[in-house]
Amino acid sequence: MKPLVQLLPVAATPPSLKDNTGDIDRLRKALRPHLGDRPLSVPFGRLASVAAAFRRAGFAGVAVVNDLVTGPELVDFLAAPPRVLAGIALDLGTTHLEATLVDLADGEILARADRPNGQIAFGADILSRIHFAVRDDGLARLKAAVTEDINTLAEELAGSVGIELADIRAMAVSGNTTMVHFFLGLDPYHLCREPYIPLANAPDPCRAAELALAIHPAAVVWVLPSVGSYFGGDLISGILASGLDTAEETCMLIDVGTNAEVVLGNRDWLVACAGAAGPALEGGVARMGMRAGPGAVDQVRFDPTTDTFIWRTIGNEPARGICGSGIIDLVAALYLGRFIDLRGRLRPRAAGSRLIDTPEGPAFVVVPAAEAAAGEPVTLSQVDLDALMRSKAAMYSILTTLTNQVGVAFADIHRIFVAGAFGRHIDPRQAITLGMLPDLPLATYVPVGNSSLTGARRILLEASARERCRELVRKITYIELNVNQEFMIRFSGAKFIPHTDHTLFPSVPFFGGGD
Amino acid sequence: MKPLVQLLPVAATPPSLKDNTGDIDRLRKALRPHLGDRPLSVPFGRLASVAAAFRRAGFAGVAVVNDLVTGPELVDFLAAPPRVLAGIALDLGTTHLEATLVDLADGEILARADRPNGQIAFGADILSRIHFAVRDDGLARLKAAVTEDINTLAEELAGSVGIELADIRAMAVSGNTTMVHFFLGLDPYHLCREPYIPLANAPDPCRAAELALAIHPAAVVWVLPSVGSYFGGDLISGILASGLDTAEETCMLIDVGTNAEVVLGNRDWLVACAGAAGPALEGGVARMGMRAGPGAVDQVRFDPTTDTFIWRTIGNEPARGICGSGIIDLVAALYLGRFIDLRGRLRPRAAGSRLIDTPEGPAFVVVPAAEAAAGEPVTLSQVDLDALMRSKAAMYSILTTLTNQVGVAFADIHRIFVAGAFGRHIDPRQAITLGMLPDLPLATYVPVGNSSLTGARRILLEASARERCRELVRKITYIELNVNQEFMIRFSGAKFIPHTDHTLFPSVPFFGGGD
């Protein structure tokens, strides 16, 4: 373990007429046994304050040294080690920011915090924010919004363990390519325009002061690199967290956020692709959709013996909406109960009184008004169903296209790591029923939680993770699906439950022809 | 030859769906053949503008890359090479700033400029400026003054060859330790207090924007390292320029500015010391003293046959004062004409009517009022003479102490390089007569001009000079004279013309006992 910022003990001989070495030069010299031949740099902006602190401390104490690719960087000097040397791991999500405060000495998570991404005020999704960014001072406003969010999180984290903001000496940031562009104030114009080129995939680390972050001004900010416009550092972080790049057997990582991002590979090779598959699975897109949180329906079963739906909400609170995993459960239940057909169309005769008319068209009542929060039924509309069918078809097509391109059969995949809230809450059984995930033994599927956050924490703590990160970015072959013909053909075939070719899903009941 | 900043040609394949490399990453990749394995960094502050320029140029043109110890640093991109890629070599003197504009492609000097150091308004000498610096915003005002001077010089230089300030992409700065502290805004408090410790002897290069310099904001500013408070980068620059550190035979470098700084050595070892020896030799200290410039008496002879002084002024203009070399010539002539005794005291009987009374005491008339500018005689007072005696004694004592410490006899010294205006104008014969320089064959003495400026130019142009610089700083043994007992004893012995032990100066006439 070698954290991104280290405290190196120093006990230098004080200056004398026999040793007139300059203060900074003396400190450099005292650090040489720790650093070997690597040249230690001192950023100009830190020179005066580090030298003053070193002298004030009587030429003994601890040096604060950032570990960069270009070599170690001396940024501060303390008379005594701080109670905690802390770093922040940040998952910079499009809709949500999640952060942990990490003790860099032992890797312990000291605190957690999260909040919505304040950029939502300027655009709900990535595309609308990119359009906002390129107008007038749009980019500056997006940058300021997320900076403020991060500073608020940092304050919360520091406050909850009773340390100062200046005790936070490092930050590792993992986010999709667009969020990283906004965070760094980089022009996102070409991200969403063919051929979809980021301004920078792998920016060098910078210091907190350069980003107006409220943590220690010399804190190193390490941004996880991306591989393309639609394949961000959040997934690189996921690869780190799941260990895909060091696995002996071929594994897969699936991350469904705003996009579906998939990596396949092992320690020898990695291929990746991404595609728009997520919207229907993210809270806020389906009319009754919501983030996995209190009151969200997250599990649904249909009991044919009693002709009733059995559902559960997070926190057992009155139902307020349905989260992504709930929608998948629900649609699988609707299919198994034959309330929808192979194409995901509601079957009015089977649905009966559960089908209501709404301004958005027909909708299926999942939780009756009497049992729901605010007295309004929780429903799933045909529009939502259509969106889900597209999402699930996209997901399966992404997986088949990717495996086909490298000649790997699904059966050859040792583990499929499923990241994010999707991975945490989804029941792979139901996702298989819908034909969203391949029909593999359930034990193949391993939820890995917020791997974007986990990976960022490893960046904070391990030099090997930082090195792996640079290597795996070089190693990944990225397949662009936006213009892939094979993907489009597979997508059409996947818009059925479970699939046009139902033999691909032997474990899923097949109900033959149409209505 | 590898300049501090290089233009590297780039012709990258434009982005496509088959190659979604980010803009900056594409540029990095295109530069790899030029840079090999050395990691190329892109400072955060330059990231957006470099990427934008690269794209605007259609992914082809020239990259501007600074050559730093930590590796190459990408700071700009141009669609086509500029007409001139220029750098400034700057001699940051206590009283005077001197600069050359250098074509980094071929090393040619395109223009020269100089001006007084504007810090003089806050203190004539180093010590008074240090005292000024530590009061209130003194340091900031000193820094601002010299920054303004440098910006004015840069404007003059750019203007004189018709380029923009932004075409100046590098600066190498050579100055004494205190001037460098002021230039960088570093606290000089301990420079003049025992044990005389600089805040930094070898600061890392920074960028022009960090110093509010008006040249290109990303221009690298390379400051020559110092060895101690009284041994600055100007002398390191002189070692580079004279080649002392690569010489096979033992040589010496003497630089007389505000201090006398001396280095002795060869390619295997270097010892150095410095001491206050200069004041009497610098313009502005002696009452009639002036910088070597038009109207300054720079040569004086006494012709005993006609009982007259023969003098010459720079530019053959009416005499306005005496420069350093003129004072040495004059005092040697006064000694040889027996107008002063062994101790440097004016002999009233010999001087006769040439001796006048002034508010500062007795003074010797060198140029009668009728022949001088402004109708005022050019004189040398006893006070000036006393100062010169101290200076010459200090100089000789420095040289003897230094050679004695390493066991080198004067006769073993192959060459003595004499730097600066002192070296350019002084007649070694007269300096030997005074007992200021050792009695060696005149061919031993080689004037090297403003070697501080010459060395800075080499830093701009040669990677090997930058490397030598780092090495020689490590190699130099610095001997502190401020508290050296041996030096004090030698100093007393040297306060005679030529010396208490006149056998040390066989070529100088010895006039026996006192008056």
Supply the pLDDT for residue B401.
Answer: 92
Please list, in sequence order, all residues whose beta carbon lies within 8 angstroms of the beta carbon of residue B477, skipping any fewer than 6 positions away.
Answer: B269, B270, B271, B272
Of A44, A69, A186, the CB nearest to B206: A44
Of B22, B43, B199, the CB nearest to A200: B22
Mutate to test the interface with B, among A177, A184, A197 (most CBs of B within 10 A): A197
What are the phi and psi torsion angles at A297 (to 5°)?
-70, 120
Say which CATH number the domain at A122 has: 3.30.420.480
Q: Are residues A285 and A369 in the same domain?
A: yes
Asked if A39 lies within 8 A of B69 by C-beta distance, the reply is yes
Chain A: give the shortest CA distance to residue B48, in Å: 6
Asked if B212 has any chain A CB less than 8 Å from its own CB, the reply is no
Q: Is residue A38 part of a domain?
A: yes
Q: Length of chain B, please?
A: 515
- For A49-105, the pLDDT digits (tens) are 999 999 999 999 999 999 998 899 999 999 999 999 999 999 999 989 999 999 999
Question: B403 with B387: CB under 8 angstroms?
Answer: no
Q: Is residue B469 part of a domain?
A: no
Helices (H) and strands (E) in chain B, counts: 14, 21
What amino acid occupies position B367? V
Q: Are residues A139 and A165 in the same domain?
A: yes
Residues of chain A positioned with their CB less than 8 A from the CB of B199 = 22-24, 47-48, 51-52
- Tracing tokens 């086509």 back to the chain, one arrives at B80
Average pLDDT over residues A348-377: 91
Mutate to test the interface with B, among A35, A189, A199, A236 (most CBs of B within 10 A): A199
Q: Are residues B178 and B294 in the same domain?
A: no
Beta strand residue intervals within A163-316, DSSP E = 168-175, 206-207, 220-223, 251-256, 260-265, 270-275, 296-303, 308-313
Distance CA B291, CA B281 (A): 9
Chain B: give the shortest CA distance to residue A185, in Å: 8
Distance CA A157, CA A379 (A): 38
What are the phi and psi torsion angles at B438 (to 5°)?
-65, 150
Q: Which of B205, B223, B241 is the last residue of a domain?
A: B223
Asked if A197 lies within 8 A of B15 by C-beta distance, the reply is yes
Of B15, B18, B200, the CB nearest to A22: B200
Chain B: give the shortest CA distance to residue A481, in Å: 10
> What 3-state class would DSSP assign to B510?
coil
Helix (H) or strand (E) holding A24: helix A23-35
Residue B19: which domain range?
5-78
A134 band by pLDDT with thresholds 50, 70 and 90: very high
Cβ pairs bridging A and B (under 8 Å): 153
Of B15, B45, B228, the CB nearest to A20: B228
Of A18, A184, A200, the CB nearest to B23: A200
Q: Which residues face B476 on adjacent strands?
A: B270
Question: B226 with B201: CB under 8 angstroms?
Answer: yes
Residue A251 above 80 pLDDT? yes
What amino acid occupies position B82? P
Residues of chain A positioned with their CB less than 8 A from the CB of B210 = 44-45
Distance CA A186, CA A209 (A): 17
Asked if A39 lies within 8 A of B203 by C-beta distance, the reply is no
Higher pLDDT, A260 or B366: B366
Residue A283 above 80 pLDDT? no
Supply the pLDDT for residue A286.
Answer: 59
Asked if A223 has any chain B CB less than 8 Å from its own CB, the reply is no
- For A168-219, the pLDDT digits (tens) are 999 999 999 999 999 999 999 999 998 889 999 999 999 999 999 999 999 9
Question: B364 with B339: CB under 8 angstroms?
Answer: yes
Provide long-range contacts, Cβ within 8 A and 24+ apart, for A488-493. Answer: A490/A396, A490/A397, A490/A400, A490/A401, A491/A393, A491/A394, A491/A397, A492/A393, A493/A397
Look up residue B405 and give its two tokens.
Answer: 């410490």
Asked if B188 has any chain A CB less than 8 Å from its own CB, the reply is no
Q: Which of residues 469-508 of B touch A (CB under 8 A)?
A: 478, 480, 482-483
Distance CA A131, CA A126 (A): 9
Asked if A11 has any chain B CB less than 8 Å from its own CB, the reply is no
Q: Is residue B339 part of a domain?
A: yes
Chain A: give the shortest CA distance to residue B74, in Å: 11
Question: B367 with B377: CB under 8 angstroms?
Answer: yes
Q: Which of B223, B256, B290 is the last residue of a domain?
A: B223
Could you tell me where the DSSP H helices lie in B18-109?
23-35, 44-56
- Tracing tokens 């929780």 back to the chain, one arrives at A378
DSSP string, B69-80: TTEEEEEEEESS
Q: Are residues A92 and A214 in the same domain?
A: yes
Q: Are residues B91 and B71 in the same domain?
A: no
Q: Angle at CA A140, nearest 5°, toward A138 and A145?
A: 95
Of A15, A199, A480, the CB nearest to B17: A480
Q: Are residues B53 and B116 in the same domain?
A: no
Supply the pLDDT for residue A513.
Answer: 56
Q: Which of A329, A363, A384 is the last residue of a domain?
A: A384
Q: Is residue B328 part of a domain?
A: yes
Q: Are residues B123 and B55 in the same domain?
A: no
Residues of chain B positioned with their CB less than 8 A from the CB of A184 = 44, 47
Q: Is residue A292 part of a domain?
A: yes
Q: Is residue A443 part of a domain?
A: no
Asked if B196 has any chain A CB less than 8 Å from its own CB, the reply is yes
**Radius of gyration (Cα) for chain A, nearest Å?**
26
Asked if A480 lies within 8 A of B229 by C-beta distance, the reply is no
- Can you give the pTM of this predicted structure? 0.89
Distance CA B379, CA B289 (A): 9
Residues of chain A positioned with their CB less than 8 A from the CB of B25 = 198, 200-202
Q: Are residues B309 and B438 in the same domain?
A: yes
Domain count, chain B: 3
Q: Are residues B217 and B291 in the same domain?
A: no
Question: A220 with A4: CB under 8 angstroms?
Answer: yes
Asked if A116 has any chain B CB less than 8 Å from its own CB, the reply is no
Among all residues of chain B, which has the CA nearest to that of A39?
A: B70
Angle subtended by helix axes A177-184 and A138-161, to nearest 10: 90
Of B51, B200, B478, the CB nearest to A20: B478
Q: Are residues B56 and B101 in the same domain?
A: no
Asked if A35 has any chain B CB less than 8 Å from its own CB, the reply is no
Residues of chain A positioned with their CB less than 8 A from the CB of B217 = none
Residue A165 above 50 pLDDT? yes
Mutate to test the interface with B, among A13, A16, A24 (most CBs of B within 10 A): A24
Question: B174 with B452: CB under 8 angstroms?
Answer: yes
Q: Is residue B234 part of a domain?
A: no
Say which CATH number the domain at A39 has: 3.10.20.880
Residues of chain A positioned with their CB less than 8 A from the CB of B69 = 39, 41
Q: Are residues B445 and B298 in the same domain?
A: yes
- Tracing tokens 């002879």 back to the chain, one arrives at B301
Residues of chain B positioned with their CB less than 8 A from the CB of A480 = 17-18, 20
Look up residue B215 and give its two tokens.
Answer: 């040249």
Residues of chain A positioned with their CB less than 8 A from the CB of B52 = 187, 199
Q: Is residue A274 part of a domain?
A: no
Asked if A187 has any chain B CB less than 8 Å from its own CB, the reply is yes
For residues B464, B470, B475 and B478, what is the CA-based torsion angle, rounded to 10 degrees? 130
Question: B279 with B258: CB under 8 angstroms?
Answer: yes
Among all residues of chain B, which has the CA nearest to that of A232?
A: B22
Distance of CA B220 to the CA centre of its chain: 21
Asked if A45 lies within 8 A of B210 by C-beta distance, the reply is yes
Q: Are residues B118 and B62 in the same domain?
A: no
Residue by residue, pLDDT tens for chain B (515 residues) are 899 999 999 999 999 988 889 999 999 999 999 998 888 999 999 999 999 999 999 999 999 999 998 899 999 999 999 999 999 999 999 989 999 999 999 999 999 999 999 999 999 889 999 999 999 999 999 999 999 999 999 999 999 999 999 999 999 999 999 999 999 999 999 999 988 899 999 999 999 999 999 999 999 999 999 998 888 999 999 999 999 999 999 999 998 876 788 999 999 999 998 876 655 555 444 566 777 789 999 899 999 999 889 999 999 999 999 988 888 999 999 999 999 999 999 999 998 999 999 988 999 999 999 989 888 899 999 988 998 898 899 899 999 999 999 999 999 999 999 997 777 778 899 999 999 999 999 999 999 999 999 999 999 999 999 999 999 999 999 887 766 788 889 998 999 999 999 999 999 998 865 44
Asked if B20 lies within 8 A of A229 by C-beta distance, the reply is yes
Please list, in sequence order, all residues whose beta carbon lies within 8 angstroms of the beta carbon of residue B467, skipping any fewer than 6 positions away.
Answer: none
Q: Which residues face A68 on adjacent strands?
A: A71
Residues of chain B positioned with their CB less than 8 A from the CB of A55 = 190
A284 band by pLDDT with thresholds 50, 70 and 90: very low
What amino acid occupies position A289? G
Among all residues of chain B, which has the CA nearest to that of A478?
A: B20
